[in-house]
A and B are shown apart, each in its own frame.
Chain A
């Protein structure tokens, strides 16, 4: 099949369609660069979506839980090996995406005889200032965008993703408190998530990469109930 270009292209197109179909039930995740740090928001139904990766890096992803786990483990392994071999300052999101995750996902996507990774991910890195924060969206085929503006959305539906991003950009003002940003994220999830019943029976997950911290590891989870 692979030595017949047309059939290969057709197989890749089928694969893309299959992944999109699989992602239809997935709900969005958001990331916000704020003065306090970088906030990640997701809503799970029994499976986690927001995770710490390394000292200043974290991920929020949607897709198949097993594939999210593969991506997460791959990033953690790459980050820790780099941090050990060189130093923690050498572990940057740009390098992790450009040289580790991006190629991994592209290769996996194009190997048409293997199972694809059904994952769309937002990755975040906290800097010394908001201007140094890095937000990126990585697609299941390895394509990725570094996102300016301090708000990032990953949604299985491109149209809804764009609408959610525009709504959040209008609603999340620069001087909003962290609690209010989380409230807006919750509203956006309910408005654009496409899930009947809203948050009922689901678990909100909120991770914060703190800008000012005492130790090297800056990630901590926030309790949604404490923030209501």
Chain B
């Protein structure tokens, strides 16, 4: 009745994962794979990620989708345990739609963010055990201002708005450094780039990250291998196709 899908799950005994684990270890919590990031550009928020999934030093997939559309106006870029991240995204997709249909209005952006916080908080035991760590980036459009915004989370569920950019995953350090540099001294700054230039920048950033992080899948324009890139704006979410990225790459290289 109150539109909260998550509250239905325990009642119906369909809670997706076991949350009661034994005492946690004191191992440090670090992301050991993946690179996802988001930055403001002239046409909205651009969210990008690599395709690589690793287990230790083994690459077991170079076709992984890490940018997940939650509804028409929000998406999540996941870094960390894929099983947990995908389950969180699936739970949020259902929770947002359930709320919209049952309450006959879309869930507000703060409530959407809070729902992700709640899932991360409920995942703390698995995180501290060292196998369920997820540190996502969330991008959504505020229903009142109609402006897209970027938020990043710590693995315990705290969220923070990113004024210009956010990154997560083992390769995000170098990307955040470059984005910081460009925001401070770039001309134009990433926030002022048109879509084509922003897409080319995103691919170059991933190429840079993959130079220093083996767990980040690179971009190879010669093989038509580009990043996953989605643009979020007041109009909704637009996936930038491989063909478009190839075109933008050529334009930027001229």
A residues within 8 Å of B by Cβ? 48, 51-54, 73, 76-77, 80-81, 83-85, 215, 217
Residue of A nearest to B69 (CB): A215
What is the minimal beta-carbon distance from A89 to any residue of chain B, in angstroms?
A: 14
Task: Return the chain A residue nearest B5 by Cβ.
Answer: A80
A164 to B42, CA, bound (A): 55
Chain A residues, Cβ within 8 Å of B98: 76-77, 80
| B211-231 contacts to A (CB < 8 Å) | none
Q: Can you name 11 extra interface pairs (CB under 8 A) apart from A52-B101, A76-B98, A77-B98? A: A48-B104, A54-B101, A73-B1, A76-B102, A77-B8, A80-B5, A80-B8, A80-B97, A84-B5, A85-B14, A215-B72
Closest B residue to A53 by beta carbon equals B101
Query: Do the beta carbons of A76 and B101 come within 8 Å of each other?
Result: yes
For B101, the chain A residues whose CB sits under 8 A away are: 51-54, 76, 80
Q: Do residues A81 and B97 form an inter-chain contact, with CB atoms below 8 A?
A: no
- Whether A80 and B1, one on each chain, are in contact in the complex, defined by CB atoms closer than 8 angstroms, is no
The number of residues on chain B lying at the interface, defined by a beta carbon within 8 Å of a beta carbon of chain A, is 15
Contacts of A217 in B (CB 8 A): 97
Chain B residue numbers with a CB within 8 Å of A83 are: 94
- Residue of B at shortest CB range from A83? B94
Q: Which residues of A contact B1 (CB under 8 A)?
A: 73
Whether B90 pairs with A84 at a CB distance below 8 angstroms is yes
Give A76 Cβ to nearest chain B Cβ, in Å. Answer: 5
Determine if B12 and A81 form an interchain contact, defined as CB atoms under 8 angstroms apart: yes
Q: Is the interface of B mostly helix, strand, loop or mixed?
A: helix
B 1-31 contacts with A by CB, 8 A:
1, 5, 8-9, 12, 14
B54 within 8 A of A: no
Q: Which 7 A-B pairs have the closest CB atoms?
A: A80-B98, A84-B94, A76-B102, A85-B14, A76-B101, A52-B101, A80-B94
CA distance in complex: A217, B100 (Å): 11
Within 8 A of A (CB), among B71-98: 72, 90-91, 94, 97-98
Q: How many angstroms between the C-alpha atoms of A76 and B98 in the bound complex?
A: 7
Chain B residue contacts of A54, Cβ below 8 A: 101
A85 vs B104: C-alpha distance when bound (angstroms)? 23
> Which of A48, A53, A77 has most chain B Cβ within 10 Å?
A77
Contacts of B5 in A (CB 8 A): 80, 84
Of A53, A76, A81, A215, the residue contacting B14 (CB under 8 A) is: A81
How distant is A217 from chain B, measured CB to nearest CB, in Å? 7
Give CA–CA (A215, B98) in the complex, Å.
Answer: 16
Query: Considering the complex, which residues of chain B in the window 122-157 have a beta carbon less than 8 Å from any beta carbon of chain A?
Result: none
Q: How far is the CA of A76 from the CA of B8 in the complex (A)?
A: 12
Task: Give the one of B90, B101, B102 with max A CB within 10 A.
Answer: B101
Q: Which residues of A contact B90 (CB under 8 A)?
A: 84
Kindly list chain B residues whose C-beta atoms are within 8 Å of the C-beta of A51: 101, 104
Q: Which residues on the A side are within 8 Å of B8 (C-beta)?
A: 77, 80-81
Chain B residues positioned under 8 Å from A77 (CB to CB): 8, 98, 102
Give every chain A residue within 8 A of B12 (Cβ-Cβ). 81
Chosen A-B contacts, 5 in total, with CB atoms closer than 8 Å, are A51-B104, A73-B1, A80-B5, A80-B101, A84-B90
Minimum C-beta distance from B1 to chain A (A): 6
Q: Are B102 and A73 in contact (CB under 8 A)?
A: yes
CB distance from B102 to the nearest CB of A (A): 5
* B102-A84 in contact (CB<8A): no
Give Cα A215 to B9, complex, Å.
25
C-alpha gap A52/B100 in the complex (Å):
10
Q: Which of B72, B91, B104 contacts A84 (CB 8 A)?
A: B91
Residue of B nearest to A72 (CB): B102
Cβ of B14: which chain A residues have Cβ within 8 Å of it? 81, 84-85
CB distance from A214 to the nearest CB of B (A): 10
Instruction: Kindly list chain B residues whose C-beta atoms are within 8 Å of the C-beta of A84.
Output: 5, 9, 14, 90-91, 94
A73: which B residues are within 8 A, CB to CB? 1, 102
- Considering the chains assembled together, what is the distance between the CA atoms of A51 and B97 in angstroms? 14
Minimal beta-carbon separation of A101 from chain B (angstroms): 16
Complexed CA–CA distance, A127 and B5 (Å) = 26
Alpha-carbon separation in the docked complex, A85 to B72 (Å): 22
Docked Cα-Cα span, A52 to B106, in Å, equals: 13
The complex places the Cα of A54 from the Cα of B98 at a distance, in Å, of: 8
Write the nearest CB–CB distance from A74 to chain B, whole angstroms.
10
